[in-house]
Amino acid sequence: MGLRGKIAVIALGWLVLISSLHAYLNVNWAAVLNDYRPASKRKITVAYLPVTCQLTCPVTDYISKYSLSGEEFLPRMFQGFPEIKEALISNRVQAAFIVAPLALALKSQGVPIKVVYLGHRYGSAVVVRKDGPIKTFADMRGKTIAIPSRFSDERLLLFRAMKVWGIKPSEIKMVEMAPPDVSGALAAHAIDAFVMGEPFPSQAEMAGFGRVLFQAREYWPDYMSCILVVRQDLIDSRPDVVQVLVDGVARSGLWLDTSKPHREDAADFVGRFYYNQKPALLRWALTKPMDRVTYSPLAPRKADFDMVRDLMMETGVLNKKLEFEDYTDTRFSDQASIQTPWKYEPGTAVAK
């Protein structure tokens, strides 16, 4: 074989090696094959972020994949709400965990979605520097605080606290920041405080420079932020699939709230296989204390959403008085509320 032949063989071999490695390591075959199934049998794609508010999504996927006949839906991790929103609008994903005010805003702008379930309750906190000057919320005057988005419950939570302390909106500077950036920014004195969902408060606490000023529950009983929305066309064409999804999330929520070992196990497999976070961080967020974030009851309630809507209108991010019935479909949660938790014990299935 001449030199040219050798080079050709090596190049071909390299190409085959790289292609097969790519196919093995990078390609999500479940998602690729799903596109070739008939529409009625296709699994739906559910978008989520790596935050504890949305933990029921990977938990449902994991438990159903390893202890039942197979996965119920295809979870797809995103890095921010804008991307999820765009995928949802363009029907690249059919269901998504997003923050409640964003769902209301999208609905008011004519995006065909419905709220079918909640993701969690509580799980957001205001964090300040451990040795910083802010001792109570009154010290927040004139300070800069990072919020995840204008359409976040965390922002509304701040307004509730400001009302209690008689602080005017002009007295606090709010900046929108990507959640992964806030911990470093707080440590570097770039901001004075942040309000975010878990595990970012835990991250600042664990690293030793952050102190939780207050948890969401102190100013907002039954606080909820992330909710599950589904596209209207899916509800119309395949309500059974939506029911399976809601059932799965409901059972995961109950399972997570059953005992501490369940939560520790969830921290372990979600951190490693889904969120790409240190399991120790999730363990902290889920168990210190146990009610830092809760996963039941998760049926959408009118009172919760009316309060979010009113706060949104009051703070200028919603200009239409939406009614609860316009943007929720409670039939799925009505049936899911009788569900029992997963029958899955830590260690009963072998993780891949």
Partner 1 sequence: MTSSAKPALWEQFFWPLVAAGLLLAVWQFSVVWTGTKVFPSPVSVEKGLIGLLQKHVLWSDIGDSLRRVALGFGFATVVGVPVGLALGWYPAMNQVVNPVLQVLRPISPIAWIPIAIIFFGVGDRAAIFLIFLAAFFPIVVACISGVSSVPAIFRRAGRNFGLSPVHILSKVIFPAALPQILIGLRLALGVSWLVVVAAEMIAVDSGLGYLVIDSRNSGKRYDLVVGAMLIIGLIGLALDTGIRRLEKIRSVRWGFRHGS
Residues near partner 1 (CB under 8 A): 81-82, 85, 89-90, 102, 105-106, 108-111, 144, 146, 149-151, 175-177, 180-181, 184-185, 187-191
User: Between residues 191 and 336, which has the closer beta carbon with respect to partner 1?
Assistant: 191
Please report how close the Cβ of residue 45 comes to partner 1 at its closest, in angstroms: 18
User: Between residues 81 and 295, which has the closer beta carbon with respect to partner 1?
Assistant: 81
Q: From the CB of residue 271, how many other CB atoms can be counted at a distance below 10 Å?
A: 20
Count of H-run helices and E-run strands, the chain: 15, 12
d(CA 186, CA 159): 21
Please report how close the Cβ of residue 16 comes to partner 1 at its closest, in angstroms: 29
Burial of 331 (0-12, 13-18, 19+ CB in 10 A): middle
d(CA 349, CA 206): 30
User: Between residues 104 and 246, which has the closer beta carbon with respect to partner 1?
Assistant: 104
| Structural contact between residues 95 and 105, judged by C-beta atoms closer than 8 angstroms | no
Please report how close the Cβ of residue 67 comes to partner 1 at its closest, in angstroms: 39
Three-state helix/strand/coil letters over 7-50: HHHHHHHHHHHHHHHHHHHCCCHHHHHHCCCCCCCCCCEEEECC
User: Between residues 176 and 334, which has the closer beta carbon with respect to partner 1?
Assistant: 176
Please report how close the Cβ of residue 317 comes to partner 1 at its closest, in angstroms: 8
Please report how close the Cβ of residue 183 comes to partner 1 at its closest, in angstroms: 10
User: Between residues 105 and 250, which has the closer beta carbon with respect to partner 1?
Assistant: 105
User: Between residues 92 and 163, which has the closer beta carbon with respect to partner 1?
Assistant: 92
Please report how close the Cβ of residue 174 comes to partner 1 at its closest, in angstroms: 9
Please report how close the Cβ of residue 89 comes to partner 1 at its closest, in angstroms: 6
Residue 203 belongs to what H/E stretch? helix 200-207
User: Between residues 71 and 181, which has the closer beta carbon with respect to partner 1?
Assistant: 181
Residue 77, helix vs strand vs coil: strand
Q: What is the chain's length?
A: 352
Query: Token pair of 20, please?
Result: 């097969």
Of 326, 291, 284, 286, whose CA–CA distance to 305 is shortest?
326
Please report how close the Cβ of residue 181 comes to partner 1 at its closest, in angstroms: 6
Please report how close the Cβ of residue 265 comes to partner 1 at its closest, in angstroms: 32
User: Between residues 51 and 98, which has the closer beta carbon with respect to partner 1?
Assistant: 98
| 116 Cβ contact partners less than 8 Å away, ≥ 6 residues apart | 228, 229, 230, 235, 242, 245, 246, 300, 328, 329, 330, 332, 333
| Structural contact between residues 86 and 65, judged by C-beta atoms closer than 8 angstroms | no
User: Between residues 74 and 146, which has the closer beta carbon with respect to partner 1?
Assistant: 146
Tell how far CA 66 is from the center of its chain: 22
Q: Are strands 293-294 and 226-231 parallel, antiparallel or unpaired?
A: unpaired
